[in-house]
A and B are shown apart, each in its own frame.
Chain A
Amino acid sequence: MTPTATYSDQFAALAAPAGAPAWLPALRQQAFERFTTLGFPTTRNEDWHFTSVAPIAERPFKAIKPAATTLTASDLAPWILDPSWHRLVFVNGRFEPGLSQFSELPADVEVATLSDALRESPEWLSAHLGKLAAFDAAAFTALNTAFMQDGVMIHVPKGETVELPLQILCLADAQAQGAAFHPRLLVVAEAQSQISLIETFAAIGGAEYLVNAVAEVTVADGARVDHYKVQQESTDAYHVSAVQVTQGRDSIYHSFSFAAGAALSRANIYTKLLGTGSEARLNGLYVLDGTQHADHQTFVEHIAEACASRELYKGILDGSSHGVFNGKVYVDPEAQKTDGKQTNKALLLSEQARVDTKPQLEIFADDVKCTHGATVGRLDELPLFYLKSRGIGAETAKALLTYAFAAEVLETIENDPLRLALERTVFERFTHASFE
């Protein structure tokens, strides 16, 4: 069976959710046809040059109908960053209302699962869903659009600030073995509104499954969206995600992508700076070992004048792991006074680990400031000597400096509970000591 044929049978059997509007099957059909035409990307595709998705294409991942989870709130504790936050919990792709809490949101802020939103606000949904995440050239996005079962829709009205962060926790357990999940996130932050989101993908146990996530984020004039993603999937799992953002005048979008899980992961984070004076900050950290592969691709399109973009990506690679960072920046002829900076640093802890990094700058305006820099290397001798000269053994010194390497980018996380949780995770992973 060809890779796309695996999905043809499933698509034929796919039933529209009860009460879904008529436009949905048409959108799905269109997306699926596009997926079959495109097929899975190969390494001949420039955007996928360093990442072969053959392991995903070869496996017959299937949509599943999971049973309601038996997990309790205490089972989720390792991933709940703050119990007072709003949260939506999905286990094996199934929304778990009993584990979720978001009734305390401001009354005019709409947060719903995709299946609820399809029933309750189909018109609003049809105006926004699939409008940013184009699938004409993106096979995984087409596949997600064809199969999306559930997800989260967020509408923050004009001028509203959501004070507490909202965490979306997607957990997989043993039931997820062989399953494909296509979660969808839609965020519309109207003018002058603010919201902070944390998407956490994690696993209990070591199942082999596919998560193919798509997010669409509209940040209107003067709005601010903080969008954090923590990817700690099972190391046997596959995780592909695409985030497409558009930004209005004077808007702010901050993204942080932490990737430590999955056998193979790919994260596309694209933002279009459409409004003058808008700012995008795309940071991330990946920590890999064994035969893990993690690929980040960012794309910042400077369309309007006087926008700023900042990117800092760091990777720590051990074993025979492979990291990829491809940072694209496009500056439109109209986008004068663009201020763009991209930095990408990787630390190799073993002889076999490998990093491929490719900054791509396409600049068509003349009055711009754009810089990029990439370094790949090992721990410096001098800081090691400094620590050793204070009595700290070589192994501990290396561990501390590895943590310090990560800390530089983790420090940019403005959400304290998340920053501390990730600092703790990285610190304990390398030092095997407890974090204070």
Chain B
Amino acid sequence: MLKITNLHASVGEKEILKGISLTVNAGEVHAIMGPNGSGKSTLAQVIAGHPGYEVTSGSIEYDGQDLLELEAEERAQAGVFLAFQYPIEIPGVTNAYFLRAAYNEIRKAHNQPELDPIEFLDVMEEKLTVVEMDASMMQRSVNAGFSGGEKKRNEILQMAVLEPKLAVLDETDSGLDIDALRIVAEGVNKLKRPDNATIVVTHYQRLLNYIVPDHVHVLAGGRIIKSGGKELALELEAKGYDWLLEPVTA
């Protein structure tokens, strides 16, 4: 589904990703871990098409297409979803309007009929239960005045509505208390299907107690320095990152 080959990306003059290669197949969950500043979030944002990063070399192939050729909205229409580490507040635009606009844009891209507000209500009702959100949240402005936990649940709600093929969760666990973490993780698990894939970017292992990865990659200094199975996450939890970093700095 996703094939990243020798990806280099920069912000301004500063190179952040220094040759990432990663293959993700349908049905898989990959965890990308690593210390702060390792490039984890950059990788997530580059996949989604953030305009602040320049890909200087390498390629990303998604579903047989050159992902880097697509605009951010085209990637979303093709099934790529990024759950933001810091979801953006949009005062004045209701969650209901925003979600329906996004839902309909994606339907339009697939030549499916758009839903009117009444029809969309039915879709929403079902999806709200995935993240245990109250319908009243739909009438509030997008993320405006939401607590940290509400913002992250709202990201997963969007994921539930848009049903992406490839979901990238960028530090979705950061700032969550244990209840919110459980709700978010269960939401992600409910959305898992054999034909979609998830990349979980996280600093800590605790989210992986709930979302069990098939593969774990450790990113440091803009490169993947180690890959393994879910047991690697537990090892990192016990030993920290330093034992892996030493060979890089040596």
Contact = CB atoms under 8 A, between A and B. Distances in A.
Interface string A377-393: 00001110111111111
A388 B158 contact: no
Contacts of B72: 385, 388-389
A67 to B, nearest CB: 44
B91 A408 contact: yes
Nearest to B84: A386
B93 A400 contact: yes
Interface-central residue, A387, A397, A405, A436, by most chain B CB under 10 Å: A387
7 contacts: A388-B49, A389-B75, A389-B84, A407-B91, A407-B93, A408-B92, A436-B117
A407 B88 contact: no
Given A381-B51, A383-B88, A389 B101 contact: no
Given A393-B73, A408-B92, A411-B92, 14 more contacts: A381-B52, A383-B88, A385-B72, A386-B88, A387-B98, A388-B49, A388-B72, A389-B48, A389-B82, A392-B76, A392-B101, A400-B90, A404-B141, A405-B92
B20 interface: no
A281 to B, nearest CB: 18
A396 interface: yes
B71 A394 contact: yes
Interface in B93-140: 93, 97-98, 101-102, 105-106, 109, 117
B162 A390 contact: yes
A90 interface: no
B77 interface: yes
A388 B106 contact: no
A263 interface: no
Contacts of A406: 92
B92 A396 contact: no
B87 interface: yes
Contacts of B76: 388-392
Contacts of B73: 388-394, 397
Interface string B134-161: 0000000100000000000000001000
A365 interface: no
B50 interface: yes
Contacts of A385: 48-51, 72
A261 to B, nearest CB: 22
B92 A390 contact: no
Given A390-B76, A393-B73, A383 B97 contact: no
A405 B49 CA distance: 24
Contacts of A411: 91-92
Nearest to A381: B51
Q: Which 9 A-B pairs have the closest CB atoms?
A: A407-B92, A391-B76, A404-B92, A390-B102, A388-B72, A386-B88, A388-B73, A391-B106, A391-B105
Contacts of B48: 385, 389
Interface residues of A, number: 26
Contacts of A400: 90, 93, 98, 101
A429 to B, nearest CB: 14
A306 to B, nearest CB: 29
A7 interface: no
A28 B52 CA distance: 63
Nearest to B143: A386
Interface string A399-421: 01101111110110000000000
A192 to B, nearest CB: 34
A396 B101 contact: yes
B22 to A, nearest CB: 20
A393 B76 CA distance: 10
Interface string A57-74: 000000000000000000
Nearest to B73: A388
Contacts of A404: 90-93, 141
Nearest to B75: A389
A396 B158 CA distance: 18
Contacts of B81: 389
Contacts of B77: 391
Nearest to B86: A382
A390 B88 contact: no
Contacts of A388: 49, 71-73, 76
B155 to A, nearest CB: 10
Nearest to A436: B117
A98 B218 CA distance: 78
A100 to B, nearest CB: 35
Nearest to A400: B93
Interface string B61-93: 000000000011101110001101001101111
A254 to B, nearest CB: 20
Interface in B224-250: none
A386 B102 CA distance: 11
Contacts of B50: 385
Nearest to B87: A386
Given A388-B49, A391-B73, A391-B76, A396 B105 contact: yes
Nearest to B99: A390
A263 B4 CA distance: 55
Nearest to B109: A391
Which of B75, B87, B102, B109 is the most central at the interface, judged by chain A CB atoms within 10 Å of its CB?
Answer: B102
